[in-house]
Amino acid sequence: MPEVIQALQHVNAEHAVSYGSDPITQRVTAQLKDFFETEVAVALVFNGTGANVLVYNNKNSSYL
């Protein structure tokens, strides 16, 4: 696990702009865009539950 701690220290060493405009999200977005060969919207989440909430909220229509 030392590699994980080193990676966390590396990415948290300096100030970063707000979520979505940070270099890590931009890099992940570019990699996924290249992989899928289309435009993508990336929302990095902590766990599977967070991912499920994003999908359900974006795919289900509100009738209220």
pLDDT of residue 32: 96
Where residue 64 falls among pLDDT bands split at 50, 70, 90? low
Give the DSSP H/E element, type plus range, for residue 23: helix 23-36
User: DSSP class of residue 61?
Assistant: P
Is pLDDT above 90 for 6? yes
How far is Cα 46 from Cα 53, in angstroms, rounded to an integer? 12
Alpha-carbon dihedral 23, 52, 7, 38, rounded to 10 degrees: -40
Count the Cβ atoms, other than its own, within 10 Å of residue 54.
12
Q: Which pTM does this prediction carry? A: 0.62
